[in-house]
Amino acid sequence: MVTQRKDIETMRRKRAIDGLIEALSDQEDIVRLTAVEALGTVGDERALEPLERLKFSDPDMGVRRAASVAHTQVVARIADRRTAERLPRET
């Protein structure tokens, strides 16, 4: 699969989670790294398992480190959303 970094940015803007997750298996380290970072900023729950796997199995240490950070970001965003959903709404 040949994925360009600009394609990753487009997927991030469109919140194309499946495409970003697919990019995690790209041969190029920079593509995987960019996809990992994008998934961290989007904060979608579907990214949790792939990021968890990648942070322990990617051959590149930088990608593993970024996957760990992104995983933490996604967990935090999910927790923030759940907290916000429980707050009473002002009328």
Q: pLDDT tens digit string along 42-64?
A: 999 999 999 999 999 999 999 99
Task: Report pLDDT digits (tens) over 64-88.
Answer: 999 999 999 999 999 998 888 888 8
- How far from 89 is each of 34, 80, 81, CA to CA, in Å? 37, 15, 14
* 5-86 fold: Leucine-rich Repeat Variant (1.25.10)
Q: At 11, which amino acid appears?
A: M
**29, 62 Cβ separation under 8 angstroms:** yes
Report how far residue 3's alpha carbon sits from residue 15's, in angstroms, rounded to the nearest whole number. Answer: 16
Boundaries of every domain in the chain: 5-86
Q: How far apart are CA 44 and CA 73, in angstroms?
A: 10
CA 86 – CA 3 distance, rounded (Å): 39
